[in-house]
A and B are shown apart, each in its own frame.
Chain A
Amino acid sequence: GAVVSQHPSRVICKSGTSVKIECRSLDFQATTMFWYRQFPKQSLMLMATSNEGSKATYEQGVEKDKFLINHASLTLSTLTVTSAHPEDSSFYICSARGGTGWYKETQYFGPGTRLLVL
């Protein structure tokens, strides 16, 4: 199957700082990438959708100025959590879509990034 990587796998930062998370599709070109967040014992919640070269589309209730998404190439998307606070501590997971044929609409997920804001 298609491989999606994320970096870093875990990060600890101080309150008020910004953190950038990278998401890469390693063996295919991702026309669309997605960012999810997951709190303990809860399901994944979609935050935003981004298409290469376009502005991201954010889900209702997600602050676009706090969660900056850049999808500058067909293999890389970044999520920057600006002025992070303890309530932003969560598991952030990206996914990428861009396969061919039967897998054209299939989303492949990265391993996730665990963010802890102190």
Chain B
Amino acid sequence: DAKTTQPPSMDCAEGRAANLPCNHSTISGNEYVYWYRQIHSQGPQYIIHGLKNNETNEMASLIITEDRKSSTLILPHATLRDTAVYYCIVTIDDKIIFGKGTRLHILP
């Protein structure tokens, strides 16, 4: 079973920031938090990952709480093409195990 908990679905207006939460209360000190997304009928796409510090790349920002028990993925300006299932993952035995993720709907 996945080590993370995410809301099953969220809506976000186009052009606004999408904030996707994730709980990982059992994370160990040396385990990374990974975010992937899967657009319909495609393979998962890597978004970002982090350990302790907040991270930012061209796709998104990752905010990790100080106790590392939760994180938030931020898509700064959501577009219709960001409609997908977003997976927050803490690896299990160095493997990516997918939970159910959050289905993000971008509303025009």
Total A-B contacts with CB atoms under 8 angstroms apart: 47
For B95, the chain A residues whose CB sits under 8 A away are 34, 46, 49
A106–B96 alpha-carbon span in the complex (Å) = 9
Would you give the 0/1 interface string for B77-108, flagging 1 where the beta carbon is closer than 8 Å to chain A? 00000000001000100111111110000000
Q: Which of A40-86 contact B (CB under 8 A)?
A: 43-46, 49
Q: Is the CB of A105 within 8 A of B44?
A: no
**CB of B3, distance to nearest CB on chain A (Å):** 14
Residues facing A in B45-93 (CB within 8 A) are 45-46, 49, 87, 91
Contact call B44/A44, Cβ cutoff below 8 A: yes
Cβ contact of A34, chosen from B34, B87, B96, B99, cutoff 8 A: B96
- A114 to B101: give the CA distance in the assembly, Å: 21
Q: Which of A46, A49, A106, A111 contacts B43 (CB 8 A)?
A: A111
In the complex the two chains form, is B98's CB within 8 Å of A43's CB? yes
Interface residues of A (CB under 8 A from B): 1, 4, 6, 34, 36, 43-46, 49, 91, 93, 95, 105-112, 114
Q: What are 25 inter-chain pairs, A to B, with CB distance below 8 A?
A: A6-B43, A34-B95, A36-B98, A43-B99, A43-B100, A43-B101, A44-B38, A45-B98, A46-B95, A46-B96, A46-B97, A46-B98, A49-B95, A93-B44, A105-B32, A106-B46, A106-B49, A107-B46, A108-B46, A109-B36, A109-B44, A109-B45, A112-B41, A112-B42, A114-B41
Given A43-B100, A95-B43, 20 other A-B residues pairs in contact with their CB atoms under 8 A: A6-B43, A34-B96, A36-B98, A43-B101, A44-B98, A46-B95, A46-B97, A46-B98, A93-B43, A95-B96, A105-B32, A105-B94, A106-B46, A106-B49, A107-B46, A107-B96, A109-B36, A109-B44, A111-B42, A112-B43
